[in-house]
Amino acid sequence: MLRYQNKLLIILAALFLSSHSLAQECDTIITSKDTSCILFFYNNIDSLALGKLHPINMSLTGFQNYNPLYKSNPFYANLGNIGLAYDNLIFNPYISHIFDFGAHSFDRYLYSNINTEYYRLTDPYSELFYVMGAKKEQLFRLKFHRKIIKNFNVGINARYIFSPGYYDRQKADDKTLALTGQFYTNNSRYGILANYTHNKVYVQENGGIHNDSLFEYNMETDRQLFPVNLTDAENNIKENSFFINQYLNLSPPGSKNPSKKTVNLGRITHSYYQIKQIQKYIDYNPASGFYTNIYNDSTKTLDSIYLFKIENQLTWSNLGYNDTILTRPFYLYLGIHNRYIELAGYMPKMYFMQWLPAGGFRWNFLNYYNVSVNARYAFGNYIDGDYYGSISIGRRFGMDNNYKGEIAINAEISRQAPPYFCQHYESNNFRWNNSFSKQNYQKAGLSYHLRRLKVGFDYCRINNFVYFDATAIPRQENNSFNVIKAFLFKDFQLGKFGILNKFVYQASSNKDVLRLPEFMAHVSFIFTTPVFNHAATIQPGIDVFYNTDYFANAYMPALRSFYLQNEKEIGNYFYIDVYFMLRIKRARLFLKYRNLTSLFGDYRYYTVPHYPMQDAAFKFGVSWKFFD
């Protein structure tokens, strides 16, 4: 592995040095290129017409948050090392539109059809990003997108995470790759995009430290000497997927004579998605005492899950040539979704066939109002009778220079089968065979958004909630209960000074089955100023994270899942990071000192019980973007 790391660093250095000379040449020639014209979108071609385009980010603000977990949300609990399992601290139930196996604690580290980027550009775009930290932590990311011929673009996104961690058996080795392609005819009547993703996750599992007091009293400064609960266990995930999405406008191109009107018959869109995933939990010492039960083999655990899916989706919408959500105030779609599934590993291979009709519309009217409605219903094995519906009503105040924000009211209702994993499972340490009822969610929310301000309130009523109890066994709560959430995201800019605030309050009416930190805050204090006659920009800053104490969920390695625990209350700790960032033309650099508070002798920095967060340490990162 060390030889592999050295090769990676040599390749990275060569790329960096060659890129340095190229960047100097490009920046000399193209100093005024507007990077906002480089846009990307996710998921499918209709995102283009629906205005779901994102500009690339050249800002320094937030650049130091390199962990994929914290790209858009700082409120996650993790096991103290990048690349390991995580838990969302904000209550956000996983509403699956079709069959859900369960166990999503590694999803944000994987490239999928949902988060793969497709770029709309005329010139090549690429990025190199590298981070290194204490204990040989490394993250490398590569992006390369370019036009091959007219109307044909290809792209590569790759990411490698390698981090041995501070404690014994805490290593993460995650490799992800996404290849993309797009083609459109000259008249845009037909378009197609495709992606191939490959994900390989290898993580060691130590079950947490054996004695928390060794850490909390700092009785040993060498963290590798701490006894851990699992000495020879690991989780592996290997996943390959292929996605293709194509559309055809049913009407021929419009006449060049503007007085001649044509009828818009809309467009037909087809999507094909295929994915194969293998999950393995391996423990070469299952009799260590960590697990209560051993059902099959006391000398070696080899639990595996095989999941194979094929999805086809056919949709008609009223979108036409070069339509956008603004030029077409009324958007309508109708579709049918089919999924074929194979599931094996801990049982004889099972087959599922499922159908899902869906439809919806969005209507912009009277210049200031919009309403969106979506609905779907499920037929087929295991999920028969599941449904989902949502409605959102928005009101815009003012236009252009007189814009005063937008208020939105939304509501959702859903009924869905519990994750299949919670119904039927057999492994070396866990077995259950349940007949849980369908879960029901009713949600309503109100929010207001104005530039750097977003404030809102959400209410959720839950019935037949499925959770993992204090023995890591799935249970169902038959009584209804409520969850409320209020949030305030507000950025203040006072000249060169900025204060970025994210506050969340949430409460569960049934803490026996759902436990949440009541209050969470993430506040950044930054100072941004140009230097050297505006040739560069610097931004020193401080990040502060806090949540109230609560009985946080524990982690079960053999299930890759989080469960209730009643032994340890954690939280009420201020995590403070200080950093300095620099931008010179297309290059951005950061130097961060993480968890400054740990220097003050308060050793209570957990977000998951028995898994301390990292001690104070430096992190260094550099990103270089190229536009030609």
pLDDT tens profile 144-155? 999 999 899 999
Look at residue 31 in the predicted model and tell me its pLDDT: 34
Distance CA 199, CA 159 (A): 10
The first and second tokens of residue 180, run together, are: 């993309």
Of 45-59, 181-195, 336-350, 426-440, the range with the lowest mean pLDDT is 45-59
Q: How confident is the model at residue 143 (pLDDT cuts 50, 70, 90)?
A: very high
User: Where in the chain are the domains?
Assistant: 33-256+266-626
The first and second tokens of residue 506, run together, are: 């949430």
Q: Where in 464-518 does DSSP place strands (E)? A: 465-468, 474-477, 481-494, 497-508
Residue 344: in which H helix or E strand, if any?
Answer: strand 330-344
Q: 83-115: per-residue pLDDT in tens?
A: 999 999 999 988 877 789 988 999 999 999 889
3-class DSSP state of 529: strand
Of 48-62, 199-213, 406-420, 455-469, the range with the lowest mean pLDDT is 48-62
Reply yes or no on whether the pLDDT at 262 is more than 80: no
For residue 77, list its beta bridge partners. Answer: 87
Please state the rounded mean pLDDT for residues 433-438.
96
Residue type, 624: W
Q: 377-393: per-residue pLDDT in tens?
A: 999 999 999 999 999 99
Look at residue 4 in the predicted model and tell me its pLDDT: 39
3-class DSSP state of 164: coil
pTM: 0.90
Tokens 């005063």 identify what position?
404
Mean pLDDT of the chain: 90
Look at residue 98 in the predicted model and tell me its pLDDT: 78
Which CATH architecture is the domain 33-256+266-626 placed in? Beta Barrel (2.40)
Q: Which of the 8 DSSP states describes residue 33?
A: -
Q: Which residues of 599-620 are buried (b: 16+ CB within 10 A; e: fewer)?
A: eeeebbbbbbbbbbbbbbeebe
Task: Give CA angle at 78 (72, 79), nearest 5°.
Answer: 155
79: nearest Cα among 554, 592, 519, 598: 554
Residue type, 505: Y
Look at residue 19 in the predicted model and tell me its pLDDT: 36
Look at residue 32 in the predicted model and tell me its pLDDT: 36
Q: How confident is the model at residue 466 (pLDDT cuts 50, 70, 90)?
A: very high
Number of H-type helices and E-type strands within the chain:
4, 37
Reply yes or no on whether the pLDDT at 24 is more than 80: no
Of 259-268, 327-336, 377-386, the range with the lowest mean pLDDT is 259-268
Reply yes or no on whether the pLDDT at 614 is more than 90: yes
Please state the rounded mean pLDDT for residues 290-316.
96
Look at residue 627 in the predicted model and tell me its pLDDT: 86
Look at residue 145 in the predicted model and tell me its pLDDT: 95
Look at residue 323 in the predicted model and tell me its pLDDT: 75
Q: 56-91: per-residue pLDDT in tens?
A: 888 999 999 999 999 888 999 999 999 999 999 999
Look at residue 12 in the predicted model and tell me its pLDDT: 38
Look at residue 325 in the predicted model and tell me its pLDDT: 67
Please state the rounded mean pLDDT for residues 468-488.
97
440: nearest Cα among 498, 387, 489, 483: 387
Q: Which residues of 154-192 are buried (b: 16+ CB within 10 A; e: fewer)?
A: bbebbbbbbbbbbbbbbbbbbebbbbbbbbbeeeebebb
Q: 403-435: per-residue pLDDT in tens?
A: 899 999 999 999 999 999 999 999 999 999 999
H-type helices in 497-604, by residue range? none
Contact (Cβ atoms closer than 8 angstroms) between residue 84 and residue 105? no
3-class DSSP state of 135: helix
Q: How confident is the model at residue 54 (pLDDT cuts 50, 70, 90)?
A: confident
The first and second tokens of residue 448, run together, are: 């207001």
Look at residue 256 in the predicted model and tell me its pLDDT: 54
Of 26-35, 344-353, 592-601, the range with the lowest mean pLDDT is 26-35
Q: How confident is the model at residue 261 (pLDDT cuts 50, 70, 90)?
A: low
Contact (Cβ atoms closer than 8 angstroms) between residue 392 and residue 456? no
Q: How confident is the model at residue 7 (pLDDT cuts 50, 70, 90)?
A: very low
Most confident of 42-46, 260-264, 364-368, 517-521: 517-521
Reply yes or no on whether the pLDDT at 16 is more than 50: no
